[in-house]
């Protein structure tokens, strides 16, 4: 596995690969790698000749009161993880490599960045768009692979690519879960042992809400029931049932819907969603 800390050598390596007509896939991460990241890498391998995994804890997507300084930094373990799965290149840039002129440039991701997670994290998606655009400019990947757990982020990145005419195909994989249903996340490491036993109830309730809607329960009633059930254990930030294609309100023409939610358990923020086809009119 090739390891790059600076942009110049990485670009030189990737240009030589392109001269050999090799396609490139990028898996952007913030490190703290786990089984969910392995699935991203497997998907990247399936759709390209060469896989680059970036590890960069992006400061522009964290507000002052968030966990930027506490975010798990496990570079040595991550390196071993990526070597074991035979990734071609690991890119671990410093802040000044990604933001040589500082990080003041603002990306306005539009209305989608102001709803759901964007309400409690108003700068988050602008920061995500900023770093993703920068990584795409450096790596120029044919494909970039993201997980569907961060569904709002996924749609914002797809919109960014379309609006800026970036020649990268966005590929997504379904949420990877623990055996008890909890969506895999680096931030799960923050959970206390007691909170970890309760955490799977989050997904279980989303699944119960899906079943209620499919059985004909009115959506607003299903949401109220879900809030009541979740509030017994979690601090509910939001739970919404929306059009899965654009996170707008459901209409009679909406074929796929998403139940999307964010909660807090202790000091840990959890997000999750379920997407399913509508089975009634």
Give catalytic residues, as residue numbers.
37
Q: Which of 103, 2, 98, 84 is nearest to 38 (CA)?
A: 84
The pLDDT value recorded for residue 64 is 86
* Range 74-100 average pLDDT: 97
- Confidence band of 281 (pLDDT split at 50, 70, 90): very low
CB atoms within 10 A of CB 200: 16
pLDDT in tens, 151-189: 999 999 999 999 999 999 999 999 999 999 999 999 999
DSSP assignment of the chain equals -EEESSHHHHHHHHHHHHHTT--EEEEEE-S---HHHHHHHHHHHHH-SEEEEEE---GGG--TTSSTTTS---HHHHHHHHHHTT-SEEE---HHHH-TT-S-------GGGGSTHHHH-TTHHHHHHHHHHHHHHHH--SEEEEESSSHHHHHHHHHHHHHHT---EEEEEPPPB-TTSPBP-GGGGGS-HHHHHHTHHHHHHHHHHHHHHHTT--HHHHHHHHHHHHHTTSEEEEEEEEETTTSPPP-TT--EEEEEEEEEETTEEEEEEEEEE----
User: The tokens of 110 are what?
Assistant: 């539009």
Are 173 and 182 within 8 A, CB to CB?
Answer: no
Across 263-268, average pLDDT: 97
Q: Which of 105, 110, 140 is nearest to 125 (CA)?
A: 110
Domains of the chain, first to last: 2-173 (3.40.50.620), 186-275 (3.30.1300.10)
Given pLDDT bands bounded at 50, 70 and 90, which one contains residue 105?
A: low
pLDDT for 108 beyond 90: no
| 16 has pLDDT over 60 | yes
Query: What's residue 17's pLDDT?
Result: 97
Per-residue model confidence (pLDDT) at position 104: 58
**Mean pLDDT in residue range 98-103:** 85
Residue 213 has pLDDT above 90, yes or no: yes
* % of the chain beyond a pLDDT of 90: 91
Q: How is residue 23 written in tokens?
A: 């396609």
pLDDT tens for 219-255 read: 999 999 999 999 999 999 999 999 999 999 998 888 8
Average pLDDT over residues 25-54: 98
pLDDT tens-place string over residues 22-31: 999 999 999 9
User: With bands split at pLDDT 50, 70 and 90, how would you rate the model's confidence at 102?
Assistant: confident
């Amino acid at each position: 596995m090739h390891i790059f800390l600076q942009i110049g050598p990485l670009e030189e390596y990737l240009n030589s690969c392109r001269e050999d007509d090799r396609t490139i896939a990028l898996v952007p991460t913030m490190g703290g790698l786990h089984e969910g990241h392995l699935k991203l890498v497997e998907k990247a391998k399936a759709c390209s000749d060469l896989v680059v995994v970036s590890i960069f804890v992006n400061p522009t997507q964290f507000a002052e009161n968030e966990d930027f300084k506490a975010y798990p930094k496990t570079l040595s373990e991550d390196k071993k993880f990526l070597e074991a799965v035979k990734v071609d290149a690991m890119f671990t840039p410093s802040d000044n490599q990604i933001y040589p002129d500082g990080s003041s440039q603002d990306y306005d991701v539009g209305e989608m960045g102001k709803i759901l997670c964007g309400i409690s994290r108003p700068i988050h998606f602008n920061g995500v768009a900023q770093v993703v655009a920068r990584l795409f400019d450096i790596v120029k990947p044919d494909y970039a692979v993201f997980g569907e757990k961060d569904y709002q982020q996924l749609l914002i990145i797809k919109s960014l690519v379309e609006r800026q005419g970036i020649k990268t195909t966005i590929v997504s994989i379904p949420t990877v879960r623990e055996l008890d249903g909890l969506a895999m996340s680096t931030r799960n490491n923050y959970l206390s042992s007691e909170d970890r036993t309760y955490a799977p109830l989050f997904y279980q309730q989303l699944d119960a809400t899906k079943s209620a809607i499919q059985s004909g329960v009115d959506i607003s009633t299903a949401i109220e029931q879900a809030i009541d059930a979740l509030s017994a254990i979690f601090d509910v930030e939001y739970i919404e049932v929306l059009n899965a294609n654009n996170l707008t309100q459901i209409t009679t023409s909406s074929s796929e819907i998403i139940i999307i939610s964010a909660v807090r358990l202790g000091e840990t923020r959890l997000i999750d969603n379920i997407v399913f086809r509508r089975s009634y009119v």
